[in-house]
Amino acid sequence: MNISLQYASVSLEGLEFFAYHGFYEEERKIGNRYTLDITVEATVEKAAENDTLQHTINYEILYQIAVEVMKTPALLLEHIAYQVIQKVFAAFTTAEVVEVVVRKHNPPIGGVCGASKIGLKMKREN
């Protein structure tokens, strides 16, 4: 049988952080709760065939990337997502597409809002 594995999708969803991001100085002082989702499309055929961690997207490393990025205050959610994506591409040469969703819970908009959210998706250019 001739079967070819194209891409696999590896995700971490609902990563929760308390961090000090925001456009307003007060947000960066008092902090807020954030949630991240990271999805990576990658070639993982060797991992699937051989049951080897080094040939897939290690989600423990994905989590450490998120922790690292969330420690550094940023003004915009877009910047947080961009930083995560760049670090994922640097860490995993097999990553082809990376998508990050960042949610800020109870954003300061002057009204009731469960969360503001941005999504950023980037593709590796060869």
Contact criterion met (CB below 8 Å) for 105 and 16? no
Catalytic residue IDs: 104
**Which pTM does this prediction carry?**
0.92
According to the model, what pLDDT value does residue 126 have? 74
Show the DSSP H helices in 1-126 as ranges. 25-30, 45-50, 59-71, 77-91
**pLDDT digit of tens for each residue in the chain (126 aa)?**
666 666 789 999 999 999 999 999 999 999 999 999 999 999 888 877 788 888 889 999 999 999 999 999 999 999 999 999 999 999 999 999 999 999 999 998 899 999 999 999 999 987
- Map out the domains of the chain with their CATH numbers: 8-123 (3.30.1130.10)
